[in-house]
Chain A
Amino acid sequence: MSIETNSQETSLEYAKRATRETAKRLARFFSIRLVLQIITIIIGVYITILVANMGGYVDTILKASILEEVNLEVSAMVTEKDIPREMREQMVRDLVAERETLAGLDQPFIQRSFRHLWNGLTLNFGRARFMVSDHGSRMVRNIILERLPATLLLMGTSQLLLFFVTLSIALAVSRHYGSLWDKLIVALSPTSSIPPWFYGIFLILVFAAWLKILPFSGMVDAPPPPTKWLYFLNVLKHLILPAGSLFVSSFFISTYSWRTFFLIYSSEDYVDMAKAKGLSDRAIERRYILRPTLPSIITSFALLMVGIWTGATLTETIFNWPGLGTTIYTAISKYDTAVIVGTTIIQAYLLGITVFFLDFLYAIVDPRVKLGGGK
């Protein structure tokens, strides 16, 4: 009796110690990963800036915004007084020269590029030349932040739906290996080589141009519906086609690869053993197929999150969905360089952060990191 209590205590203590050590190791692992990832993001953003700057574009953006600022200030200063034109121009010139020196535009390129890097990392993208946010701001940051929710809505809906639907269908199909549905999924998987925007064109053609039951493009009718509830329904209606094209485009390949993945795992000996024991299908699935594949499932979920930031430029453009993708498209057509550079940097940023979380998640579900790895 006493011996048992004793051993229970030790095992409890052992568990506690193990947890403490795991936590310590995890902390060390993450601080290293964090530092590495920050460096990676910085380098990524720096390369982005270099690419944007080779044509001197970042400098042009800066100069343009300085000139605009100074012009505004000077015209505000002189409205009430009668100052000759030459004097005013002289004032502008002096102020611009002063500000440019202050902004470091007279410094060598290397020094300037680090200043741009800092501006980029602090999301200080300057002013847009032509584009204006819906609230009337010309700050690139505001334009981008305003568009981000639309991208999140579209990508979030379609990708989450895709993830859970394909996962459950794949699980069902892998149980009936060789059935008609299974063969159909295998046969149709090459259709996923066609990108979502391409399906988008077809969906618009069928549902908007031909059947006329869904809107061509946009996120909400103009004018928008009066009540919140109707507004929500209206957005939902506009969401069907773009989200649908993103969904259709990846559906078969995603189902196919999950199904193959599950098939490989369900041909393991321990699954046969469980079957021989007479366990129910559901129990086998939960304990012997899903559990060992969990790390991979979570990794792919995280990778999907990475895709959310960059995946939809074209689909958004085709559907005129007011997200980041359409912003880039508009910026290209208007040659608004500040917005293009800003969007690219913010994407690099978000990608870097997501990749870090991917590492984090992976480390948590990977048993090698979790327990006993130190010993």
Chain B
Amino acid sequence: MKKFKDTFQDIVRYPSAVVGLLIVLALIVFSIYTMITIPYKEAIHLWKGTEAVVYKNPRNARPTWVNWFRKDKLPVSVDVYAGEDEDFTKEVTPRKKGGNQIEFNYEFDYNYNQLPQDIFIYFKSNYVDKNPFVVINMTTPAGEEIKIYDGGISRATNVRFGQEEKLLTRLVRLHGRDTETQDQLRSVIEGLFTKMGSYPPVVDKGTYTINVKATTFEEGSDVEAELVMHGTVFGLFGTDHMRRDLKVAIMWGAPIALAFGLTAALGTALISMFIAALGTWFGGWLDELIQRITEVNMVIPYLSILIMVGTFYSRSIWVLLLVTILLNIFSGAIKSRRAIFLQVRESTYIEAAKAYGASDYRIIIRYMIPRVIPMIIPGLVSAVPAYVFLEASLAILGLGDPTVPTWGKIINDARTNGALYQGMFYWILEPAVFLMITGLGFAMLGFALDRIFNPRLRGM
């Protein structure tokens, strides 16, 4: 305990160690928080990106906070439920012939210079035989009332404004562009949100109203509506090309990176230490064998073997973790550990242990290994970033676990979908910053520990 306290006091003396320790602790807390708020199964489900999961998310949206730094604000995504949210009102009046007349009204200000990606209304209704009928109208700030949709709806219907072909024809007529000198209207959204007849198109800023009149024909038949507008910013982390919320992968990246990095570093260090201890204690052919294996292992190209395993056998992150550990046990580290054990073996206390008749096993476990543990701790901590980045490297090579959301996967997705060329820097920078902080945290702590445990480096 006292030794532990001393070590802690030593750590406090190095500012970089304190920063490193804080980062590592913060990461651990963040990981635990992630695991509690988004259970693993749910994270994997969310990361599959099925329509039911991502329908509210725009594609390739930047995080919302980019608006804080912009003069020209980007349209924010909206998601409102009729009746539950104040702006989206729902009024039910019974009809004489049975059924209800339901009116929804949504009024919103649109003051951005850019167009939203899409607007849609998601209807849910209950009925026995006769399905409800809806009419959707939208009023622009200029007072123009445009019919968006009219028709029957089923139990679940999604009216996407952007995909209404008839509406597009109507809007083309309304805008009346001269197609010989001007571009034709590109989309419904452009038609709805720009000033009529303006060219080049200018966004019509002001208050828009969306009015929905639904008619039901049966007693107790009801319609619910959810209105979603896809802006070009979304959430705290933004979205990717499959409209998945990057939050899932950014958050889950932490526990996975920690699990991978710590397990690999710890596993490799402990097993190689144990093997080195066995080799030096028993000597002879065992020691010789260990050395030969190490030499062979140094010749095997480590990353390429991992790549082969990833391609031919399994992309599971845990299989790759196991192979990583196996390939790293007999590395150069085992040689330096062997050198340390050779010294330890000659110590007088080991001789004393032999004299009182301690078994080989007891000597190795109780006397030799504890002596070496402080020496391997700095290396162990410093090795964590290498493994964390290894996982990301495999993802970059396209060998990432397809189901598991990790930081490396985001970078790979971003890279292969041209984030760098198209200026979607948030997509790469977010996971990159997290990876970097993790790497630096462990590296700083490891470096400081090295100087604490290695007296020769102390003054340097």
B5 / chain A contacts, CB cutoff of 8 Å: none
In whole angstroms, what is the CA distance A190 to B385 when docked?
Answer: 10
B428 touches A205 (CB 8 A): yes
We find that the number of chain B residues with CB closer than 8 angstroms to chain A is: 51
Partner of B421, one of A177, A190, A216: A216
A274 is an interface residue with CB less than 8 A from chain B? no
Give residues 298-325 of B contacting A (CB, 8 Å). Answer: 298-305, 307-313
Say whether, besides A54-B313, A201-B432, A41 and B299 are in contact (CB < 8 Å): yes
A217: nearest residue on chain B (CB-CB)? B420
B432 touches A51 (CB 8 A): no
Q: How would residues 296 to 319 of chain A score, 1 for a CB under 8 Å from any chain B CB and 0 otherwise?
A: 000000000000011001100110
B411 / chain A contacts, CB cutoff of 8 Å: 201
A313 touches B303 (CB 8 A): yes
A351 touches B299 (CB 8 A): yes
B308 touches A198 (CB 8 A): no
A332 touches B311 (CB 8 A): yes
A363 is an interface residue with CB less than 8 A from chain B? no
B436: nearest residue on chain A (CB-CB)? A194
In whole angstroms, what is the CA distance A52 to B309 when docked?
Answer: 8
A47 touches B440 (CB 8 A): no
A348 / chain B contacts, CB cutoff of 8 Å: 299-301
Q: How would residues 444 to 458 of chain B score, 1 for a CB under 8 Å from any chain A CB and 0 otherwise?
A: 101100000000110
Closest CB in chain A relative to B392 CB, distance in Å: 8
Give residues 428-442 of B contacting A (CB, 8 Å). Answer: 428-429, 432, 435-436, 439-440, 442
A314 / chain B contacts, CB cutoff of 8 Å: 393, 396-397
Say whether, besides A190-B16, A209-B425, A216-B420, A332 and B299 are in contact (CB < 8 Å): no
In whole angstroms, what is the CA distance A187 to B447 when docked?
Answer: 10
Q: Which of the candidate stretches A62-70, A163-171, A338-346 sits at the interface with the other chain?
A: A338-346
Give residues 389-415 of B contacting A (CB, 8 Å). Answer: 389, 392-393, 396-399, 411, 415
Partner of A190, one of B308, B313, B444: B444
Most chain A CB inside 10 Å of its own CB: which residue of B295, B304, B415, B428: B304
B304 touches A344 (CB 8 A): yes
B298 / chain A contacts, CB cutoff of 8 Å: 351, 355
B444: nearest residue on chain A (CB-CB)? A190
Q: How would residues 269 to 309 of chain B score, 1 for a CB under 8 Å from any chain A CB and 0 otherwise?
A: 00000000000000000000000100110111111110111
A333 / chain B contacts, CB cutoff of 8 Å: 398
B443 is an interface residue with CB less than 8 A from chain A? yes
In whole angstroms, what is the CA distance A189 to B440 when docked?
Answer: 10
A193 touches B382 (CB 8 A): yes
A264 / chain B contacts, CB cutoff of 8 Å: 456, 460
B398 touches A332 (CB 8 A): yes
A125 / chain B contacts, CB cutoff of 8 Å: none
B20: nearest residue on chain A (CB-CB)? A190
B445: nearest residue on chain A (CB-CB)? A190
B423 is an interface residue with CB less than 8 A from chain A? yes
A8 is an interface residue with CB less than 8 A from chain B? no
A231 is an interface residue with CB less than 8 A from chain B? no
Closest CB in chain A relative to B387 CB, distance in Å: 11
**Besides the known contacts A193-B442, A201-B411, 16 further A-B residue pairs in the complex with CB atoms under 8 A apart:** A43-B296, A44-B300, A48-B300, A55-B313, A177-B460, A190-B447, A193-B389, A194-B440, A198-B432, A202-B432, A209-B423, A216-B421, A328-B307, A328-B397, A344-B308, A348-B301
Task: Write the residues of chain B forming the contact surface with A, with a CB cutoff of 8 angstroms.
Answer: 16, 20, 292, 295-296, 298-305, 307-313, 382, 385-386, 389, 392-393, 396-399, 411, 415, 420-421, 423, 425, 428-429, 432, 435-436, 439-440, 442-444, 446-447, 456-457, 460
A-B contact list, 7 entries, CB within 8 Å: A44-B296, A52-B312, A190-B440, A195-B389, A216-B421, A340-B304, A352-B299
Closest 4 CB pairs of A and B: A193-B443, A190-B443, A44-B299, A347-B301
